[in-house]
Amino acid sequence: MIDRYAPPDLRALWSDEARVELWLQVELAVCQARADLGEIAPPEMAALKRATPPSLTRLRELEAEQGHDLAAFVSAVQEQLGPEGRLLHLGLTSQDVVDTTLALQLRRVAEILAQDLARLDQALADLALRHRGTPMMGRTHGMHAEPLTFGFVMANHLDELRRAAERLRAATAEVVVGKVSGTVGTHATVSPEVERLALAGLGLPAAAITTQVVARDRHAFFLCALALVGASCERLATTLRHLQRTEVGEVEEPFAARQKGSSAMPHKRNPIRLEQVCGLSRLLRGWAVAGLEDVALWHERDISHSSVERVALPDATMALGHMVRTLTSVLGGLEVDREAMLANVERRGGLARSQQVLLALLGRGQQREEAYRLVQRLAHEADHEGGDFRAGCLASPELSRLLTAADIEEALALDRYLGGIDASFHRLGLLPATSDEAGDPPAQGKS
Say how far apart CA 58 and CA 290 lie, in whole Å.
Answer: 32
> How would residue 117 be classed by pLDDT, with cut points 50, 70 and 90?
very high
Say whether pLDDT at 259 is over 90: no
Share of the chain above pLDDT 70, in %: 97
* Residue 443: predicted pLDDT: 54
pTM of the model: 0.93
Q: What is the mean pLDDT of residues 159-183?
A: 98
Of the candidates 68, 69, 34, which has an alpha carbon nearest to the alpha carbon of residue 48?
34
> Which amino acid would we find at residue 261?
G
Identified catalytic residue from 15, 55, 262, 304:
262
- pLDDT value for 447: 66
Report d(CA 216, CA 95) in Å as an integer: 13
| CB-based contact 220:228 (threshold 8 Å) | no
Residue 354 designated active-site: no
Averaged pLDDT, 208-221:
97
- Type of residue at 147: P
- pLDDT-based confidence at residue 343 (cuts at 50, 70, 90): very high
At residue 184 the predicted structure's pLDDT band, cuts being 50, 70 and 90, is very high
Residue 263: its pLDDT value, please?
76
pLDDT in tens, 265-284: 888 788 899 999 999 999 99
Give mean pLDDT, residues 359-369.
94
**Residue of 67, 66, 72 whose CA lies nearest to 54:** 72
**Which residue ranges form the domains of the chain, and what is each CATH number?**
3-87 (1.10.275.10), 94-255+266-343 (1.20.200.10), 348-413 (1.10.40.30)
Instruction: Return contacts of 144-150, CB within 8 angstroms, 24+ apart.
Output: 144/344, 144/347, 144/351, 144/352, 145/352, 146/352, 146/353, 146/355, 146/417, 147/345, 147/352, 147/353, 147/414, 147/417, 147/418, 148/417, 148/418, 148/421, 149/418, 149/421, 149/439, 150/250, 150/336, 150/341
- The yes-or-no answer on residue 262 being catalytic is yes
Mean pLDDT to the nearest integer, 52-71 = 96
Is pLDDT of 113 > 90?
Answer: yes
Instruction: State the SS3 of the chain.
Output: CCHHHCCHHHHHHCCHHHHHHHHHHHHHHHHHHHHHCCCCCHHHHHHHHCCCCCCHHHHHHHHHHHCCHHHHHHHHHHHHHHHHHHHCCCCCCHHHHHHHHHHHHHHHHHHHHHHHHHHHHHHHHHHHHHCCCCEEEEEECCEEEEEEEHHHHHHHHHHHHHHHHHHHHHHHHHHCCECCCCCCCCCCCCCHHHHHHHHHHHCCCECCCCCCCCCCHHHHHHHHHHHHHHHHHHHHHHHHHHHHCCCCCCEECCCCCCCCCCCCCCCCCCCHHHHHHHHHHHHHHHHHHHHHHCCCCCCCCCCHHHHHHHHHHHHHHHHHHHHHHHHHHHHHCCEEEHHHHHHHHCHHHHHHHHHHHHHHHHHCCCCHHHHHHHHHHHHHHHHHCCCCHHHHHHHCHHHHCCCCHHHHHHHCCCHHHHCCHHHHHHHCCCCCCCCCCCCCCCCCCEC
Maximum Cα interatomic distance, the chain, rounded to a whole number of Å:
104
Kindly state the percentage of the chain with pLDDT values over 90. Answer: 89
Q: How confident is the model at residue 1 (pLDDT cuts 50, 70, 90)?
A: confident
Summary mean pLDDT of the chain: 94
User: Which one of 141, 267, 299, 384 is the catalytic residue?
Assistant: 141
Closest among 22, 129, 5, 109 to 73, alpha carbons compared: 22
The pLDDT of residue 438 is 44
Mean pLDDT of 119-129: 97
pLDDT band at 245 (very low <50, low <70, confident <90, very high): very high
pLDDT of residue 138: 95
Q: Residues 92-100: what's their mean pLDDT? A: 97
Q: What is the pLDDT of residues 222-232, one digit of tens each?
A: 999 999 999 99
- Cα–Cα distance for residue pair 23/265, rounded to 1 Å: 53
